[in-house]
Amino acid sequence: MSNPEFHSEPDSGALFELEPEPADRLSFADLARLPLGELVAPDWAKALAPVEAQLREALTFLAGEVAGGHAVLPSPANLLRAFRQPLATVRVLVVGQDPYPTPGHAVGLSFAVDRATRPIPRSLANIYKELQDDLGFPPRVHGDLSRWAEQGVLLLNRVLSVRAGAAGSHRNKGWEAVTAAAIRAVADRAPAADARVGADAAAGRAALVVILWGKDAESVRPLLGSAAVIASAHPSPLSASRGFFGSRPFSRANALLQEQGNGTVDWELPPLP
């Protein structure tokens, strides 16, 4: 999508040891050479094995972009950040599009930005406004959403990279196959939206709610099987007033999680990260 406002983007050693280290310690070429099990959490490595070739093609493409003098976002250390959160812990999936193309913004989690970014993008400001209207939590000045990720909220962009200043520039470079496999892997663990909790528990199914904002996100519906879905307009200033505001995605997600027997997400973010 060409408008940066339409672009979006957990973390402790207990989740995965590839903490964001200084960007100059890693390169996209380095990532392309590492074993899959060193790039993502172990259960994600298993889930993504069928699309490993496409993942490596995308990483090789990024190395070529850099070799050609282009800046690529997010940094190599943050590129696969969403997959450091183990697949087994995912209980809410939020699908974004591609990373913010503004240098310093993209952090590898959809809709999030670097904790020092001021002001935050307008789409994220609208998300905070809806969060306040829905649950009463005050908007924050920062865009660090890692607290959500740490609770099993998978903030996954459909395309995981972008050339700086050129929104949508890395579409059709292999990422769609990778993230489609990831979304299917999450959805395959979900109970039927109308199934009884006890029956699903007996079948070993994991609670899941999927939040889709905007038409691009809606395009992944065929990948979701019977997972519970909350869909609305995108939080962009261009569309937020046409169905995003008032959609109450946070309280609705918690209600659906409770119905599935998996508690709730504490959506309140710390005043400062």
Long-range CB contacts for residues 27-33, cutoff 8 Å, separation at least 24: 27/63, 27/66, 27/76, 28/59, 28/62, 28/63, 28/65, 28/66, 28/72, 28/76, 28/79, 29/59, 29/60, 29/63, 29/66, 30/76, 31/59, 31/76, 31/79, 31/80, 32/56, 32/59, 32/60, 32/63
Alpha-carbon span 194 to 226, nearest angstrom:
8
Strand partners of residue 228: 209
Active-site annotation holder among 11, 24, 43, 98:
98
Catalytic residue check, 98: yes
CA distance 247 to 158: 22
Cβ pair 113, 105 in contact under 8 A: yes
Residues facing 28 on adjacent strands: none
- β pairing state of 72-73 and 162-163: antiparallel
| Residue numbers annotated as active site | 98
